[in-house]
Each structure stands twice: as C-alpha cells, then as structure tokens.
Structure 1
C-alpha cells in the first residue's frame, strides 16, 4: 500500500560536497538551533518516463531507489510553491500498479521505461532546535547521472538540498536562504535532479516548445489560450488526488471540467467549433461521471450536520445508524463510478484531446482581435442567456416547475461566472465585479437546489425507516427545515439578481 507525504525543499548549487569550508553556519537561521551530522548515504535511483518524457514535462518524477532509509518506489507530484507530494511504495521489480494509475493523466496510457540512472553520495546534517527536535534536513550531494536511452551521455555535479521537517515553518527556509545568499550560494537552475540529468545527458530532451506564430500577444486568443492551459493543467494535476480520495478533489476536478466547457462554449467566436464541440461533449461526460460522488459528499455532509444540530430528544429511532448505512452504500457506488471513468479508454482519449488543445488551440480569425471587443461581446451574450432563464424562473409560482427553472438559471449563472473568470486577466475590474455578483446568484440558487435535493433524500429515508418499523419523525422534521431554508433562498434571489444586473452595465 502506497503512503503519501508532503515534501517542502529548496535546491542550491553547491560549490563542492567533499570540502565544506564554504558552508556557512546555518544554525543561525533559528534561535538555539544546531547542526547534527547524520553521516553518509549512498543512493541509487532509476527514473522512469515515457519515450517523449511526459512525466518530466509535467513536473512529475517516478523512480525506483535503493539505499537510504526510504528505499522503494517514489512518485513526486507538484504542489504550490516549494512543495511536492511524494507517494512511496515498497521496493518491487516493476512499477507498482497504484503508481501507474497515479501517473495516468500525464502518461495518457503510454508505457514508461528507464530513462536515467542517478547515483548520489549524500552527506546528511539535521538542523535541530534547542530540544533536539528536527527543523530541517541539509543534504550535500555528489551526483552522477547516466542516460539509459540510446545516444545519451553522463554528467557529474554537486548540489545541496534543504528539506523542511514535517510540520515545519516555511519561513525557516527563507532564513536559511538568506544566509546562503550572503555566502554567494544561489538556487539551482534545475528544479530537480532528473531535469538536470536529462538536460546534461540528453541534449534537447526537454527542449523549448516551438513558438506559436499564430497567437498575437495581448489578443483575445492569447488570453483564452492561457486560460485553457491553466484549466487543463488543473484537471491533469487533480487526477491523482481524485484516485486517492483526497478531500474536495472530486469537486475541484469537476469545476475544472466545467470551466473548460464554459470557455469552449462562451468563446466560440474565437475557437473552431469543429474541434472544440467534441471536446465539450467529452468534458460534459466526465463531469457527469464525477457528479454522483460529489453530490453524495454534499448531501451526506448536509444530512449529518442536520442530525447533529437537533436536540437529542428530537432524534427518535436509529437515525444515525440508518444515515451511516445509507451513506456508506451510496459512497461505495459513486466512488466505483468515478474510478471506472478515470480508468476508461474514453477518459484517456479525452486527455489526448486536451493535450492537443493545450499545445495547438484551434484559434479563428477573431482570436487576433483585442479582448475588449471579443470577450465583452461573449460575456454580454452569456448574460442574455442567464437573464432569460432567471426571468422565467422568477415569473413562475413556487413549486416543482419553479425549482427546475431556478436550477437551469443556476447552470447559466455558472457559465457566465466562468466566462467572466476567463476574461478577468484581460478586462480587469468589470469582469471581476461581474463574476463576483454572478457567483452570489449561483450561490443562492445553488443553496436552493441543495435544499430541494435534500428534501427528496429525506423523503426516501423516511419511507425506508417507516417500512422497517422505525419512527420517521426525525426525517420529517429535517424535511420541514429544508423546505423553510429553500424558501428563504428563493426570497433572496431577486435581490442578488438585481445586483448582478448592475455589474453587467459596467461592461459596455
């Protein structure tokens, strides 16, 4: 079973690892700290990647390492700033299936093979506080890299790593870096040993992408291209988290799908629909497969919170047990659906299409125009669609038809919000204001929809409880509370919608 940890470190270009006269007193980075020598380690790692280095290009590394205290398979995935997630699996001859799955969004099913062998002689020192508690680990490395692909060479260098102890204060790394800079020691140019090894042993392996001659800087197409790439990168990065069941990961991946779909729909004047419409359809499919698990998360949290907040005397019968049994069964089914989608050939094909879309966005002639005209026009169109749906919803009497109409208006509000987010770097304050006001519309209509859905779930739980001879009082009480809450959200809609209309006027 693989284990995960968060790794926060910085790399520096060390003058030499065998002569540490240049090394400043890093203990000054923390009051009362000292350095403790932990000896020498010999590490031998073989790095795996696809033939075209999809992992390395996606800032991920997969290696099989012997030596040291953590021998085994290591998968490193990028996080924000200086941090990465490191997933470790036991030492085996072949890549563990779990790690193959976690790199799938980057490899897109292409086989991985050994590409570089890196042997490191590591001198380790711990930076500890006055009580001996670990603050950071300082490693001085002598590195030899040998290419494992035809025509590759080898390289030798020295470097230093400063890795923050688990739960440590990131400000410590700033203090260490300040001391190093005063001694003339700067950051390493390569983000990882693998990146440097590939660059020095296989020239051109990580060469720069070809310039995009069709994209005009500052144009609507340039802004949209950057937005699409950002969302595609988010979707790819979230895949491993979704597979491992990380909190909120399904929701965030679903949002990335919707943002991509929204941009492809809202800015059709900029993009070739013959290319993007099929991608939109597949993104809709993926969001639909992720939806049940996310919906169950929201519903479960809402129901558990509702039961917890009731006075004990109003909880009649085995309410908690029934809720738990229902939740476990529903989550198992929805989790299976999510994983089946991510393991399907259809998802792999979508990843291939998204990779192509990011590399070569199908821009139309209008993409060369200024965003102030092209993107504003798209936002105005999306606002018009929302306005028509909202007017219809607010004109209906309370009941199932109005509930359904509010839900449709909510979907239109999401599309407008995502379109405004895509335009924000180009249009600035007007797009930001519109997005904020429409988000309020989405939030209120979404809370109304959640109330409607929760009422339906409570009715089904009450029926099941009654059929089993249990009291259905508590379920009915919660149902009544949800009806009141949904009605209150309906009352708030006209006000938040009016405010969104004022933000719309600032676009023109």
Structure 2
C-alpha cells in the first residue's frame, strides 16, 4: 500500500537564538495565529545506490521513524519548490512498490543505506482565521552519520517552511520576506541529504564529463538531449502509476530524443546514436498502444456526448465502455511489461552514457549558425517533399497514408527547430510555429481517419449482437466529413508554412 502527496517547502539557515529568534508571523498575509507543537524526535536512514543515482537526480528514499508519518518515503522532484512524496508503511526492507518507482533512476542497482539523519524538531503552525493550518515552520537540530564504516559525522541547524495541502503557494514568498527582515536566509543546500552527503564525506566525487565549448552546436544538442533524457526518467514513476497524460508525455519525449539524434548526425556520431534511436522507437511503440487507445476513446466519447438524445439508438454508451475497458487493459499491460524489461533499463543506461560521454563529431565545434541551420533546413526539405507527394495523391487511402507520413515529417522538423531555437532565435521560431499549424491539422485528419476504422468495428459488433448500428454509422459519417474538411484546409495552411521568406534568414 502506498499513498502520495505533494509537498512545497523552502529551507533556511536557522535563526540565531533558535526558536526565540523566529519572527512573529501573526498577521503576515492570511496568517491569523501561530501555534506551537513538538518537540519531535525523527530518525531517518537514507538509501541509495553505491554511486548515488537517486541523489544525482534530486530524488531521495528514506526509512523514517518518529513523527506522524513514520514509514518509507520516496521523494521525487517536481517544478520549483515542490516535490511528490510517496509513502509506504514501515518494513525492514525497501518496499517493492517504491523500488519499482525508483527503477528508472537506479536502473536495477542495489539500494543500500548511505547516511543516517536524526533530527530534534520544534514546530510552529501558521493558521488562518478559521484555525486551519496554512503552513508549518520546523526548526531542526540535525545530526548526520555516514553509513559506511569510518564515515564522518556532521551537525547543523535548519529551518523549513512547508505549505499545507491546498494552501496558496504565494504564502511562501510572504513568509520569506518576513524572514529576510530578521536576517534569515535560504540554506545553501537543497535538502538534508545533500548536506549530509557533503559534510560527512559520504558523497561520491562527481564524474568529469568532456568539456564542450559553450555556444557550440555540441553544447546546444547535448543540453537538449540531457533535458529530454532527464524528462524520460522523471516520467517513469507517473507512467507506472497510470497518472493522467503520463504515457503521452513519455511517448513525445521518446520522439523528441529520436528526432534530435536523427537531425544532428553532424554533431553526434550515428554509430553510437542510431542504436539508441532504434530502442527509443521500440519504447515509443510500446507506449503508443495505451496512448492511441486513450485518445481514441476520449474522441469517440466526446462526439457521442454531442449528439442529440434522439440520435443515440441502442446501448451505445455501454458498448463504448466495454471497448475502452477491454482495449485499455491490454494497452496498459503492454506498457507496464515494457517498463519491466531489461531492454528498457539498457536504453536508460545508453542515454546516460550518451550524455556523460557524448560521441562528438567535427560539427559539434563549428559555428551553430551553419551547422544547426543546415539540420533545420534539411528536415524542412523532407517535410516539403512529403507534402508535395501527399497533395498530388488522389483522394482515398493513398492520400491518407501520404498525409500521415507528412505529419511525421512535420514533427521531426519541429523537434529539430526546438533544438536550434536557443542558437538561431526568431527565424527558426517563426518557421516552427507555421510547421506546428500544419502538424496539428494533419493530426486532426489522422485522428479522424483512425476513428472511422474503430467506429466501423463498433458498428459491426453492435450489428452482430442484434443492436442498432445507426449511431455508429452517424459518427463514422461525421468523422469522414471532418477528415475531408481538414484536407481542404491543408493547402492554405501549407502555403503559409512554405513561404520562402520564412526560410531566407536561415539560408544565408
């Protein structure tokens, strides 16, 4: 059994004088009163791999006793001051549920104790006019010991301000302003673990990566690959927990990485990157079944909800739910199975190695205006060729297939433009925006085409069960009309995207 919550907090150096040095926060923003609690004795043993892979990705795993939430805590970074904390009951070993959620970061390496942190905590609760808790100020006296024999010890004080669930994040800024007036400043370490590893000597020496010239194509491409690889790792726990939109975002991340490695072969050696691209394609395919089914179900459900009641004949909603349950379960199982394979972990290892030891080519050190503009224009040329071919096809299956290929080419162009945007600025941004309009229109067309096939299957199943197929046929006709309308719009949208004036700044 696990539970999760989001925590938003900031850490500060302790006030001189301890609790007596805290300012009175009554009347600060919505704070109507401040109440005291504690002290509490907290004892936490932090677990990580030998090379501290969790800490290196700003995640922590601890077994803590004492306090109201004793148990195992896996903390995963989110945006800004916020982290997600997944809790599991106390046990002697790392719970399998948390081990699985940490797998994209540990990649199967053994988890072991790395440091023990004990804290004596005094708490002040900030309350609103109704007595509800807005935030907690925790003043900790911390003692840390490295777990390895012969490890060091460290002691320090720390002030933590944590928002209550549902509280306005702006309260942190208001409280911080008051703290600064009393000379209380932010801590120089993002977490107790980070400081404990540093001060006890338990932290590993950071691995030295090859230096890349700032402002070079190599620097821009590696920054993009590093960002997307980190996003892939971070999305893994959300996909395993079947959180909304997680599969879609992970699949898009795979595509972005594949596109970058394909477009910038002049920067990174394809002998290394092509095998990685192939594995990213495999993973995106495994994720695609769940995502495609989810999108299709939402699309058909929304179209059905828009129909007048008199046009809904038979148990249409029940049949759609049956289709969603049967297909959705299979798709989710396929995704979970993929994330449980050694193949997936090898892919994560390969991405990590790619970032740490990039296979740079000569183009990595050239001027970005030349190397990156060339990559963007090459992808644009492929898109233009696909569009020309698609628009020349007669209406029917051949045109639908060609338009789908053009859509994929538009995505690849946009990803190449994303990588180059920091180097090339507004010209590539404008061209990317026009290509996005083409891609979105082609996406709507493809979704309508796929929906037609599924609606026909539903109609056949309904007819076979002795139900009316009228509503499914009606929805099929609406999707067909929508696809034809998108095709009529496409010529004008592509004309705007293919304006030579948009490409001129990149060609010179």
Place the TM-score, normalised by the shorter chain, in its bin.
over 0.9
Distance 2:205 2:21 in 1: 34
Tell me if 1:22 matches 2:9: no
Which residue is 1:172 aligned to?
171
TM-score, normalized by length of structure 2?
0.98
Q: CA deviation at 1:209?
A: 4.2
Contact 1:12 1:161 in 2 (8 A): yes
Contact 1:57 1:206 in 2 (8 A): no
Which residue is 2:80 aligned to?
81
Which residue is 2:490 aligned to?
493
Task: Give SS of 2:444's match.
Answer: helix
Tell me if 1:357 matches 2:336: no
Distance 1:32 1:182 in 2: 17
Distance 1:42 1:296 in 2: 49
Query: Which of 438, 441, 462 is 2:438 aligned to?
Result: 441
Can you list the C-alpha shifts for 1:15-55, whole angstroms capped at 9, x where unaligned? 45x73222111224224521111221111111100000000
Which residue is 1:324 aligned to?
321
Contact 1:13 1:187 in 2 (8 A): yes
Which residue is 1:155 aligned to?
154
Which residue is 2:233 aligned to?
236
Can you list the C-alpha shifts for 1:295-316, whole angstroms capped at 9, x where unaligned? 0110010011011111111110
Which residue is 1:143 aligned to?
142
In the TM superposition, structure 1's runs of 4+ consecutive aligned residues that sit over 3 Å from their partners are: 206-209
Distance 1:346 1:103 in 2: 17
Residues 475, 211 of structure 1: CA spacing in aligned structure 2 closer, same or farther, 3 A cutoff? closer
Contact 1:35 1:127 in 2 (8 A): yes
Alignment of 1:219-258 (within 5 A): 219-258=216-255
Contact 2:247 2:291 in 1 (8 A): yes
Tell me if 1:13 matches 2:50: no
**Stretch moving more, 181-190 or 32-41:** 32-41
Which residue is 2:33 aligned to?
34
Distance 2:423 2:237 in 1: 32
Distance 1:447 1:505 in 2: 30
Aligned CA-pair RMSD: 1.1
**Stretch moving more, 463-472 or 380-389:** 380-389
Contact 1:372 1:426 in 2 (8 A): yes
Tell me if 1:68 matches 2:67: yes
Contact 2:445 2:486 in 1 (8 A): yes
Alignment of 1:412-427 (within 5 A): 412-427=409-424
Q: CA deviation at 1:497?
A: 1.2
Tell me if 1:105 matches 2:132: no
Alignment of 1:293-304 (within 5 A): 293-304=290-301
Alignment of 1:266-345 (within 5 A): 266-345=263-342
Q: Structure 2: state its 5+ residue gaps.
A: none
May I ask how many residue pairs the two structures share in their alignment?
A: 505
Q: CA deviation at 1:92?
A: 1.2
Alignment of 1:378-393 (within 5 A): 378-393=375-390
Q: CA deviation at 1:217?
A: 1.3
Distance 2:120 2:287 in 1: 45
Contact 1:383 1:504 in 2 (8 A): no
Task: Give SS of 1:114's match.
Answer: strand
Residues 506, 489 of structure 1: CA spacing in aligned structure 2 closer, same or farther, 3 A cutoff? farther
Distance 1:32 1:44 in 2: 31
Can you list the C-alpha shifts for 1:244-285, whole angstroms capped at 9, x where unaligned? 111111111111100100000001011111100000000000
Which residue is 2:114 aligned to?
115
Distance 2:150 2:373 in 1: 52
Residues 89, 31 of structure 1: CA spacing in aligned structure 2 closer, same or farther, 3 A cutoff? closer
Distance 1:31 1:97 in 2: 42
Contact 2:51 2:204 in 1 (8 A): no
Contact 2:209 2:356 in 1 (8 A): no
Task: Give SS of 2:498's match.
Answer: helix
